[in-house]
Chains A and B, each alone.
Chain A
Amino acid sequence: MAVRANPDLIDDLERFGAKDAMKCYQCGNCSAACSHSEDPYVFPRKSMRYLQMGLEKPLRSALDPWLCYYCGKCSEQCPRGAEPGETMMGVRRWLTSEYDFTGISRLLYRSWTAELLTILTVAMLTGIGFLSFGYLGGGGNLSVYDGPGAFLPPHAIHVFDWTMGIILALLLSINCIRMWHFTMRSEHAVPVSLSLYVHYLLLLPLHFFTQKRFRHCENKTPWTNHLILMLSYLTMLTLIMVFLKEMQSGPAVNWYAHSFGYLSAIGLVTTTIFAIQGRIKKDAAYHRHSHESDWMFLGLLLFVSVTGILQHVLHRAGLPMAANITYVVHLMGVVPMLALEVPFSKWSHLAYRPLAIYFAQLQQAAQAEGAIPLGRPAKPQPVA
């Protein structure tokens, strides 16, 4: 069946950061240079071609962009300056907005002002919410940080963060199902049996925790940084979601809980500063181009880490009121960051990437099982 071309696709993708794709003359150097590109997932040239021709449907059903980790080797070698690496990044942003059923992702990616305004609004609402809860709801005292009469008692925060966590997970799950629908149910995809889905299920946690494919890139530094950042964040998330009481207790340092917190705080701050520095210096191909959403994410992450550390320090320093105020400011960063980034923006890749690897493996396994060549319709299409 013929594919309908959308000539405006390239203009749309420009807003997502794929600015130079039209320069590409399809030499294929990028695909051959890439250490992840392997039959049948040959990229980035093919995705660039879809983009140039406005083949929206094949692009939407492609897993290739998620198999790229943007080491930048393709962009370095590109004879045309078409920035295949950045194009793949742009396609990933576009795919995120396509998977998202609410349309929020599309709005945030395409408009810098909308993103900023949303963050500010959510931050203000969070601030007002927690302040009014502290004064009115819990009847807490601003000068008490910990124990009875605390301004923001851990059990109350627990209720809030678990509610928020469940809502975000739900939103992300819906988007993941849409991703599955676009990629695994496309007309070119091979039907996969349930037993295969179960057989390869362990791939998901494996790739989620290790990101071992990233290590195949020639330059290992980005993988190391990414892994430290991710593990630091996961540790911190676990501490907050499960051990918040221990974390908030004080002013004495509770080494059993706090040592983990300190390690992950160091990991978060150093990797974030490293990433910001790289993007300012533009010394590597993968840092040369920064979308507004990249800056927003790094800025929020740094803000959240620094305020988190500060409220902890202020509490230990015997300044409960300052610690409480910083805590509220900290939450004003955390809530918009998680609420916007996880289901609608950059952080959704925590789900999409392992899923794409899983789906790609399933496709290959199913193809081997059924010996149906990839790239052709699984069953003959009825003539319209």
Chain B
Amino acid sequence: MRESAKQIREGSVKSEPGTDVAESEARIGVFLLRESGEASPALDIPALAEYATHLPGVIAVRTVAASSAMDPEKLAADIRKTKFNTIVLAANHPGFYKPAFTRALSLAGYDGSRVRLASFAERGDVANANRARATLLSAVQGTPFAPEVKPAPDPFNTATLVIGGGVAGIQAALEIAESGNKVYIVERTGTIGGRMAMFDKTFPTLDCAACILTPKMVAVSQNPNIELLVLSEVQEVSGSFGQFQVKVLKHATRVDAAACVACGDCARFCPVTTASEFDMGIATRKGIFIPFPQAVPNTYMIDPTYCTWVLSDGKKCGACAKKCSKGAVHLDAKDETVEIAVGNIIVATGYDALDARRVERYGYGTYPNVLNSLEFERLTNASGPTGGKIVMKTKKLNKKTKLEEWVFEPDGPKPKAVAIIHCVGSRDKNYNPYCSRVCCMYSLKFAHLVREKLPEAKCYEYYIDMRAFGKGYEEFHERIREEGVFLVRGRSATVTDRDGQLYIHGEDTLAEHLITLPVDMVLLSVGLQPSEGSAELAEKLCIPRDGDGWFRELDYNSEPNSTGREGIYVAGVCQGPKDIPDTVAQASAAAAHALRSIVAAKAKENASVPLQTISEIAGSPARS
């Protein structure tokens, strides 16, 4: 035998017909191996042997006991005698015995590579007789185990749910909807737009925030693929990737959105006045209201916590319903629960500003002219209560309550000095240990707005470290410096009020002096923290949060959009503090994640070759 092997190596043995045989000339020997111990009861060897004899190209079927010490020379003798040029080795784990057969084929003068494996165990379900036959058939035919025989895919829902209608939610929804797929936006407040809709300018370009955002908001309202659920909250999530079932509690707006033309007659006659959430409480709204004039949906709604009609169980008031010429007000409308089915969920719940009352030494909530950053955004916004004029609060008698209140009036006194305190509640182990990332830049933006609108006013920034990390940010920082803003390196410790004058006390760590400055207005650059209800939402969605409460991404570097759960993605600040450009980019990326699965599911559905089932293949051996 050694001699013949040597002859083969040296090429002195003339190739027998069959060393390079075409499929039609295949003379196949099927070797069914009986493995001891682990033979599956469903693996009916005699039946499979019977099946194999009828397959095309099969010369003979042998049933042998599997052994690790099979003698290649004995097998070669058999091969030579029967003139097999191809061997199909069928067992649960045939690969283990392959070397002996390869060698046997070579010894017999055939191409040693023509050993095909029919592995029952590798093809899954060994208890399925049809599957075993299909496995054997593909090995005999020399075709790969047909991918078509995978079970038909579960139905994939191509709709997507976006939780949160801020700039991240809007961007993600538009990306998906504009590709022709259904999107639901669930928004807790009465309008989409989120925090960005409150801003006056964006840093570092000083673009008008509304000019960027409102066209996108209108696009959402006009896109037929987007269904917008405002005053709504996710209640329950079941199912999994591709087939989520979501229960949404939809609070009644009590105004028919289709009929309302936002004329505002109802609000004019509404007797209830309360603080406006959209204006961060520095302006008022009525009991029936629209959050802001460009709100989407552009519809009035009733706040049941203040509405006289609701509080008196329909016994009092009802002026809005009487005055509405369109008959759009339905005071008795009820909250409803809607069920939506989606394949993917994008979480974009954003942030809340830290409650500056917690940092007592800055006097927020005690001194009227100590404002947090969102309040200042509304004050300086042209659509805000003063038409964008930066003024101090003035005392005014509330005619109804007969109490004196501090309010913003467009003709109020202008501040002569404004101090901005950075890192309020950020980078502080007593509050939020992390850097909120946007405060340095929005504080510089505030300083610019103060200097622009009140050129005679002094502006002081108390910072610890100036974090101008983004594209164009350092240049913005330098620009503000050149505009005559005083940058003080040092965190101020206290804001005090002495005889109606605010004093800010801190150390200028560069000059190593303590300084006390009289100022008229103090702006607190409060940090960002996960929006209220994030913990509950994480529980409903079964997605993890990090130590600071932000939703945790699957991998910090490579999967910043994915969560621990397939089909649920995060976008924007809810994953961690970030600025508008990063939020928008991440929202588009989240949409890409969702679209990947939607497109793949649609491709499967549209595949032109009908999927074959196992029994179809196994039942038609003569197909080829």
Q: Residues on A close to B: CB < 8 A?
A: 25-29, 31-33, 37-39, 42, 45-46, 77, 79-81, 375
Give, as a whole number of angstroms, the nearest-CB distance from A37 to chain B: 6
Contacts A26-B509, A31-B514 known; 6 new A-B pairs at CB < 8 A? A27-B464, A29-B492, A31-B507, A42-B514, A79-B428, A80-B428
Q: Decide if B506 touches A80 in the complex (CB within 8 Å).
A: no
Q: In the complex where A25-B465, A42-B514 touch, is A32 in contact with B492 (Cβ < 8 A)? A: yes
Q: Does residue B216 face the partner (Cβ distance < 8 Å to A)?
A: no
Residues on A with beta carbons closer than 8 Å to the beta carbon of B512: 42, 46, 375
Residues on A with beta carbons closer than 8 Å to the beta carbon of B465: 25
Give CA–CA (A42, B510) in the complex, Å. Answer: 12
Residues on B with beta carbons closer than 8 Å to the beta carbon of A28: 489-491, 493, 506-509
The 3 A-B residue pairs with the shortest CB-CB distance, nearest first, are A32-B493, A28-B507, A79-B428
Q: Decide if B428 touches A33 in the complex (CB within 8 Å).
A: no
Q: In the complex where A25-B465, A32-B506, A42-B514 touch, is A77 in contact with B493 (Cβ < 8 A)? A: yes
Residues on B with beta carbons closer than 8 Å to the beta carbon of A79: 423, 427-430, 491
Residues on B with beta carbons closer than 8 Å to the beta carbon of A77: 361, 430, 493
Q: Decide if A33 touches B494 in the complex (CB within 8 Å).
A: yes
Interface range, B side: 20 to 34
With both beta carbons as reference points, the residue of chain B lying nearest to A33 in the complex is identified as: B493
Residues on B with beta carbons closer than 8 Å to the beta carbon of A29: 491-493, 506-507
Q: In the complex where A37-B514, A38-B514 touch, is A27 in contact with B429 (Cβ < 8 A)? A: no
With both beta carbons as reference points, the residue of chain A lying nearest to B432 in the complex is identified as: A79
Residues on B with beta carbons closer than 8 Å to the beta carbon of A81: 429
Contact residue among A32, A38, A42, A46 (Cβ-Cβ distance under 8 Å from B494) = A32
Sample 20 A-B pairs with CB under 8 A, ordered by A number: A27-B490, A27-B491, A28-B490, A28-B493, A29-B491, A31-B493, A32-B490, A32-B514, A33-B493, A33-B494, A38-B514, A39-B514, A42-B507, A42-B512, A42-B513, A79-B427, A79-B430, A80-B428, A80-B429, A81-B429
Give CA–CA (A32, B427) in the complex, Å. Answer: 18
Give, as a whole number of angstroms, the nearest-CB distance from B481 to chain A: 20
Q: Does residue B505 face the partner (Cβ distance < 8 Å to A)?
A: yes
Residues on A with beta carbons closer than 8 Å to the beta carbon of B429: 79-81
A-side binding surface: helix, strand, loop or mixed? loop
Q: Residues on B close to A: CB < 8 A?
A: 361, 423, 427-430, 464-465, 489-494, 505-509, 512-514
Q: Among the interface residues B361, B465, B507, B513, which one has the most CB atoms of the partner chain A within 10 A?
A: B507
With both beta carbons as reference points, the residue of chain A lying nearest to B513 in the complex is identified as: A39
Residues on A with beta carbons closer than 8 Å to the beta carbon of B508: 28
Residues on B with beta carbons closer than 8 Å to the beta carbon of A39: 513-514
Give CA–CA (A37, B513) in the complex, Å. Answer: 10
Give CA–CA (A70, B513) in the complex, Å. Answer: 21
Give CA–CA (A31, B507) in the complex, Å. Answer: 6
Give CA–CA (A54, B344) in the complex, Å. Answer: 56
Q: In the complex where A32-B507, A45-B507, A80-B429 touch, is A25 in contact with B464 (Cβ < 8 A)? A: yes
Give CA–CA (A29, B508) in the complex, Å. Answer: 10
With both beta carbons as reference points, the residue of chain B lying nearest to A41 in the complex is identified as: B514
Residues on A with beta carbons closer than 8 Å to the beta carbon of B423: 27, 79
Give CA–CA (A45, B464) in the complex, Å. Answer: 13
Give, as a whole number of angstroms, the nearest-CB distance from A288 to chain B: 14
Give CA–CA (A25, B463) in the complex, Å. Answer: 12
Give CA–CA (A293, B423) in the complex, Å. Answer: 38
Give CA–CA (A38, B491) in the complex, Å. Answer: 16
Give, as a whole number of angstroms, the nearest-CB distance from A219 to chain B: 15
Residues on B with beta carbons closer than 8 Å to the beta carbon of A375: 512
Give, as a whole number of angstroms, the nearest-CB distance from A261 to chain B: 46
With both beta carbons as reference points, the residue of chain A lying nearest to B516 in the complex is identified as: A32
Give, as a whole number of angstroms, the nearest-CB distance from A61 to chain B: 15
With both beta carbons as reference points, the residue of chain B lying nearest to A49 in the complex is identified as: B509
Give CA–CA (A26, B506) in the complex, Å. Answer: 12
Give CA–CA (A81, B428) in the complex, Å. Answer: 9
With both beta carbons as reference points, the residue of chain B lying nearest to A26 in the complex is identified as: B509
Q: Decide if A45 touches B509 in the complex (CB within 8 Å).
A: yes
Give CA–CA (A80, B433) in the complex, Å. Answer: 8
Give CA–CA (A80, B491) in the complex, Å. Answer: 13
Residues on B with beta carbons closer than 8 Å to the beta carbon of A46: 512
Residues on A with beta carbons closer than 8 Å to the beta carbon of B490: 27-28, 32
Q: Decide if A27 touches B494 in the complex (CB within 8 Å).
A: no
Give, as a whole number of angstroms, the nearest-CB distance from A73 to chain B: 9
Residues on B with beta carbons closer than 8 Å to the beta carbon of A33: 361, 493-494
Residues on A with beta carbons closer than 8 Å to the beta carbon of B506: 28-29, 32
Give CA–CA (A131, B361) in the complex, Å. Answer: 61
Residues on B with beta carbons closer than 8 Å to the beta carbon of A32: 490-494, 505-507, 514
With both beta carbons as reference points, the residue of chain B lying nearest to A73 in the complex is identified as: B493
Residues on B with beta carbons closer than 8 Å to the beta carbon of A45: 507, 509
Give CA–CA (A27, B488) in the complex, Å. Answer: 11
Residues on A with beta carbons closer than 8 Å to the beta carbon of B428: 79-80
Residues on B with beta carbons closer than 8 Å to the beta carbon of A42: 507, 512-514
Give CA–CA (A38, B505) in the complex, Å. Answer: 12
Give, as a whole number of angstroms, the nearest-CB distance from B5 to chain A: 73
Residues on A with beta carbons closer than 8 Å to the beta carbon of B491: 27-29, 32, 79
Give CA–CA (A45, B491) in the complex, Å. Answer: 12
Give CA–CA (A31, B512) in the complex, Å. Answer: 10
Give, as a whole number of angstroms, the nearest-CB distance from B466 to chain A: 13
Give CA–CA (A138, B490) in the complex, Å. Answer: 68
With both beta carbons as reference points, the residue of chain B lying nearest to A80 in the complex is identified as: B429
Give, as a whole number of angstroms, the nearest-CB distance from A190 to chain B: 17
Residues on B with beta carbons closer than 8 Å to the beta carbon of A26: 464, 509
Give CA–CA (A195, B55) in the complex, Å. Answer: 122
Give, as a whole number of angstroms, the nearest-CB distance from B8 to chain A: 75
Give CA–CA (A77, B360) in the complex, Å. Answer: 11
Give CA–CA (A252, B389) in the complex, Å. Answer: 85
Give CA–CA (A37, B514) in the complex, Å. Answer: 8
Give, as a whole number of angstroms, the nearest-CB distance from B491 to chain A: 4
Residues on A with beta carbons closer than 8 Å to the beta carbon of B464: 25-27
Give, as a whole number of angstroms, the nearest-CB distance from B538 to chain A: 27
Residues on A with beta carbons closer than 8 Å to the beta carbon of B505: 32
Q: Among the interface residues B361, B506, B514, which one has the most CB atoms of the partner chain A within 10 A?
A: B514
Give, as a whole number of angstroms, the nearest-CB distance from B546 to chain A: 20
Give, as a whole number of angstroms, the nearest-CB distance from A29 to chain B: 5
Give CA–CA (A81, B491) in the complex, Å. Answer: 15
Residues on A with beta carbons closer than 8 Å to the beta carbon of B427: 25, 79
Give CA–CA (A25, B509) in the complex, Å. Answer: 11
Give CA–CA (A77, B512) in the complex, Å. Answer: 19
Give CA–CA (A375, B427) in the complex, Å. Answer: 31
Residues on A with beta carbons closer than 8 Å to the beta carbon of B494: 32-33
Give, as a whole number of angstroms, the nearest-CB distance from B421 to chain A: 11
With both beta carbons as reference points, the residue of chain B lying nearest to A31 in the complex is identified as: B507
Residues on B with beta carbons closer than 8 Å to the beta carbon of A80: 428-429
Residues on B with beta carbons closer than 8 Å to the beta carbon of A38: 514
With both beta carbons as reference points, the residue of chain A lying nearest to B422 in the complex is identified as: A27
Give, as a whole number of angstroms, the nearest-CB distance from B118 to chain A: 66
Give, as a whole number of angstroms, the nearest-CB distance from A74 to chain B: 9
Give CA–CA (A253, B505) in the complex, Å. Answer: 58
Residues on B with beta carbons closer than 8 Å to the beta carbon of A37: 507, 514
Give, as a whole number of angstroms, the nearest-CB distance from A67 to chain B: 14
Give CA–CA (A136, B361) in the complex, Å. Answer: 68
With both beta carbons as reference points, the residue of chain B lying nearest to A76 in the complex is identified as: B430
Give CA–CA (A80, B432) in the complex, Å. Answer: 11
Give CA–CA (A26, B505) in the complex, Å. Answer: 16
Give, as a whole number of angstroms, the nearest-CB distance from B518 to chain A: 16
Q: Among the interface residues A27, A42, A81, which one has the most CB atoms of the partner chain B within 10 A?
A: A27
Give CA–CA (A231, B238) in the complex, Å. Answer: 73
Give, as a whole number of angstroms, the nearest-CB distance from A78 to chain B: 8
Give CA–CA (A33, B495) in the complex, Å. Answer: 11
Give, as a whole number of angstroms, the nearest-CB distance from A254 to chain B: 54
